Amino acid sequence: MQIDKLRGKELDQLFKAILTLENVEECYQFFDDLATMNEVQSLAQRLQVANMLRQGYTYHKIETETGASTATISRVKRVLHFGNDAYVMALDRIPEDE
């Protein structure tokens, strides 16, 4: 399993740090210190692409609304079908009103 290749003490520490964050503002502060805004925006874009793919949007519509490349859309689609179902898990947990 590819996820096992990621496992390690350093990533455990990162994920535990993320899990200590109590609200969106703390996430903004932490990720602003941790990564470039382009890196964070790229992650957010992938989540948006995953959500739109789940809702049946076309590549063209997703590309137009998110600015994601067709390569990014294809990668996210592949992960949705053959990945660990993490996008689905996370998207299902986000409250509807957000």
Instruction: Note whether 56 and 10 are same-domain residues.
Output: no
Instruction: Note whether 59 and 29 are same-domain residues.
Output: no
pTM for the model stands at 0.83
Instruction: Note whether 51 and 30 are same-domain residues.
Output: no
Which residues neighbour 17 within 8 Å (Cβ) at sequence distance 6 or greater? 30
Instruction: Note whether 45 and 88 are same-domain residues.
Output: yes
Per-residue pLDDT in tens (0 to 9) along the chain, 98 residues: 566 777 889 999 999 999 999 999 999 999 999 999 999 999 999 999 999 999 999 999 999 999 999 999 999 999 999 988 999 999 999 987 65
Instruction: Note whether 26 and 2 are same-domain residues.
Output: yes
Instruction: Note whether 52 and 66 are same-domain residues.
Output: yes
Split into its structural domains, the chain has a count of 2
Contact predicate 42/15, CB 8 Å: no
Q: What is the CATH number of the domain that holds 50?
A: 1.10.1270.10
Residue range(s) defining the domain that contains residue 96: 37-98
Separation of alpha carbons 81 and 50, rounded Å: 11
Instruction: Note whether 42 and 77 are same-domain residues.
Output: yes
Degrees (nearest 5) of the Cα angle 72, 79, 24?
75
